[in-house]
Structure 1
Amino acid sequence: MDSSSLEEKSFLLSLNPSSSWLINLITFQADFLTNILSFLFSPFTSLAYELIHRTEQAEKKAEDTVVAATRVPYRVAEGGIVFLRKLGFGCLGALYACVILTAILILALVVGIGLVQFWVEEPVFFQEPVHFDYTQVHPTAVFSLQGKKRKGVPAGQTYYVSLVLLMPESDFNRQIGVFQVTAEVVAVTGNTLAISSQPCMLRFRSLPVRLMHTFIMGVPLLLGISGETQTIGITILKHKERYPRTRAIRLTLQPRAGTSGVPQLYSAEIVIKSELPLMKQVVHNWKWTLYVWTSSYVYIIFLVLTVCCCRPLFFPVNVVVRNQRDVLVEDVSGQASRVRGDREALESLERWRRTRISSRSKRKAPLGYDFYEETVGSSASSSAAVSREEASEVVEDFGGFTDAESVCQGG
């Protein structure tokens, strides 16, 4: 070795204690200066940190305010859409309910009015002209109560027969004076059920009255506006309809005793008007009230029956929800059965893997077979379940078999 190198090494060794001391001194001075500066500037740094923290909080608060302000219109719009949707569904439901209730109301009105009409009887009223046969000694006219357009008077009703005669004020009629009008009720069997007769004559007018009347009504008489006639109304017959029923009414004009002349007629008209029994008369007088009350009761009955027997018609939403619930239950049960089948398949795969591993261990390690079998059995029993990926890998490794029995038979 060279002498110069030895001297340098000895010099460096002599400087090592002093160099470490110098480094320690520099470090102490740096720490001292750092502490003094941190002590002096600590209020300013804390103030700066506080300002920065407050600035960050203000920025965050402003961002939250902006986000909330942007979310408010969205929430308002979303709430408005939901409200309009609910309002639309409500209007549709109200319209649907009104249609159903209106249909039930119309049906109830038809049934109620039909029931009242079936119970209520209408009085019979006929007013038709009759023609007397003057070829007979006693002129006769027959009015039939049963025909194509007439069904007769219902049994139990009482009817009145009146005769209206339009007679000229001729000297012949005034000379005849009183004559007799007879009415007979003829049954369907041909027998006479009732008979009634009543006298009749023209109203008397003296000669001065007739002259004065002719003088005053001269112009209308000459123009044909009025005529020299009299109208006479006679109520001839009152009869209560029973069985056998009435077929016709026969009217006869008869002269008074000792004479043979019958009056002259322009026209004759028969009027038949029936009268209902007391109870039926009350019902007929209050039929509109009965229409209202009967229809109301029928409407309530139909409404109750519809709600009880046709609930899906009023509450289709419940039926849809129930059907959806049934579908969900079926889906859940199907998924549970599939999961159960997958679990059984996994268990069968696990048993198959155990048998496969045990067969491999028998082929590879004939010595120490018992220890290896125990180790494999304990590790297999410690695993609670096998995932589908492992099962698919096992199936791919061993040819895609999924049935443990078929795989074992193949092995």
Structure 2
Amino acid sequence: MALLSPFIAIFSIASDSYHRAEEAVDAVESVFLKAPSKVIHGTTTLLRKIGFGIVGAVYVCMVMIVVMLLAAMLGVGLVQLWIEEPVFMQESLFFDYTDANPKAVFTFGGFVDDGSIKKGLMGVPLGHTFHVSLALLMPESDHNMQIGMFQLTAEVLSADGNVMAKSSQPCMLRFRSLPLRFLRTFLLGAPLLLGISEETQRISIKMLQLKERHPRSKVIRVTLIPRAGTVCLPQLYEAEILLISKLPWTKEVVRNWKWTFYVWASIYIYITMLIIILSCCRPLLFPITVVDPSHCPDSDETEYTGESKEARAEGRDEKGISEVLRRWQQRRRKRKAIILHGEMVDSTECSSASITREDTSMAVDEQDIVDSESVC
């Protein structure tokens, strides 16, 4: 039995090393077989994350664009409510020639003293300075040429009939000598016959200007007055009144820079709305998707499971190697005990032979251990 123990130890070590080698080969094969599935799973997970990222970016961009458009509309609307535009009014005048001094009235004030506005009338806002001009279309008749100079008077009346401003301007037709008139008629004969041109003159007169204040202005009254010593009135084809208001300088600056105010007001409103959304309505900008881990396992958990399996496999390999070394040490102690017991019973020759066999078996065992460790 003592002679067979080295061979039994060698056989057991060889069988253990063979089994470990087979397990290592199986582990390597399983790793290589699982590698494609892991690569496919990782690629799918990466593509899914990229897709979710693109969809999220598009969604956030859409929300920000909608907020920006809303901020732009609010900014432009608020600035439009703040900005005042100058008033421009033009209307025809009709003089009453039944009077000795024909008069024409232009009503423009829609405001009353209490600040209310009458429906259908547009007035000049407070603080505006308005300018009044008259345009007269007069024929180049002999009557108008003989009348020569005449007077135009404009009065601004309040709602209670008081005169707030008054202006009077003289006017007349531009003089043309008789030869020039004949030459002009000869050159423009065809247009005159076809009605393309007319023998008329348009006269524009700046009458008055007034700054709107309380009491509010309501009516402009224009009067035709003949020259002193005469009673003849001029002939008119048309008469028009033109009213243009001018803004105060502060409001004029705001109006001239209205596009700058549009931009800055829209930016401020946009930033304010983003702060409100991020503070109070964060799910609207960053929607949260709740995932049930029991139905949809995460890729991180899968990777962690794979790493734990690899760690357990390495631990099993280390335990196997330590178990082989422990068994080898136990067998070595048993052989030493057997050899010592044989020396006490057998002769010196038998002991020397057993020692030689023990050394040989130990050398073989050590070589097998090294081979098994290299395989593992």
> Per the shorter chain, which TM-score range?
0.5 to 0.7
CA distance in 2, matches of 1:75, 1:139: 103
Structure 1 runs (4+) deviating above 4 angstroms are 67-73
Tell me, yes or no, if structure 1 residue 123 matches structure 2 residue 86: yes
CA distance in 2, matches of 1:136, 1:178: 19
Question: If you compute each CA radius of gyration, which structure gives the higher value, 1 or 2?
Answer: 1
Partner amino acid, structure 2, of 1:170: S
Q: Could you say which residue in structure 1 is the equivalent of 2:176?
A: 205
Q: Could you say which residue in structure 2 is the equivalent of 1:280?
A: 251
Alpha carbon RMSD of aligned pairs, Å? 3.3
Aligned pairs for 1:43-122 within 5 A: 60=25, 64=28, 71-122=34-85
Aligned pairs for 1:261-280 within 5 A: 261-280=232-251
The more displaced of 186-195 and 106-115 is 106-115
The answer to which structure, 1 or 2, has the higher relative contact order (CA under 8 A, 6+ apart) is: 2
- Normalised by the length of structure 1, the TM-score is 0.60
Identity across aligned pairs (percent)? 54
CA distance in 2, matches of 1:259, 1:70: 123
Aligned pairs for 1:396-407 within 5 A: none
Q: Could you say which residue in structure 1 is the equivalent of 2:358?
A: none
Q: 1:166 aligns with which of 137, 142, 151?
A: 137
Q: CA deviation at 1:208?
A: 1.4
Tell me, yes or no, if structure 1 residue 243 matches structure 2 residue 214: yes
CA distance in 1, matches of 2:232, 2:40: 104
Q: CA deviation at 1:73?
A: 4.4
Tell me, yes or no, if structure 1 residue 186 matches structure 2 residue 157: yes
CA distance in 2, matches of 1:116, 1:95: 31
Gaps of 5+ in 1: 1-30, 32-37, 39-48, 325-411
Partner amino acid, structure 2, of 1:79: G
Gaps of 5+ in 2: 8-13, 111-118, 294-376
Any idea what the Cα deviations from partners look like across 1:335-355, whole Å, max 9, x if unmatched? xxxxxxxxxxxxxxxxxxxxx
Q: For 2:288, what is the secondary structure of its paired residue?
A: helix
Q: CA deviation at 1:69?
A: 6.2
Asked if the contact 2:133–2:243 (Cα under 8 Å) also holds between the matched residues in 1, the reply is yes
* 1:195–1:78 CA distance, 2 compared to 1 (3 A): same
- Normalised by the length of structure 2, the TM-score is 0.66
Q: 2:265 aligns with which of 267, 279, 294?
A: 294
Q: CA deviation at 1:311?
A: 2.7
Tell me, yes or no, if structure 1 residue 226 matches structure 2 residue 197: yes
Tell me, yes or no, if structure 1 residue 134 matches structure 2 residue 120: no
Asked if the contact 1:189–1:244 (Cα under 8 Å) also holds between the matched residues in 2, the reply is no
Asked if the contact 2:60–2:286 (Cα under 8 Å) also holds between the matched residues in 1, the reply is no
The count of aligned residue pairs is 276
Q: CA deviation at 1:60?
A: 4.2
Tell me, yes or no, if structure 1 residue 259 matches structure 2 residue 230: yes
* 1:172–1:87 CA distance, 2 compared to 1 (3 A): same
Any idea what the Cα deviations from partners look like across 1:213-261, whole Å, max 9, x if unmatched? 1111111111111111111111101111001111111111111111111
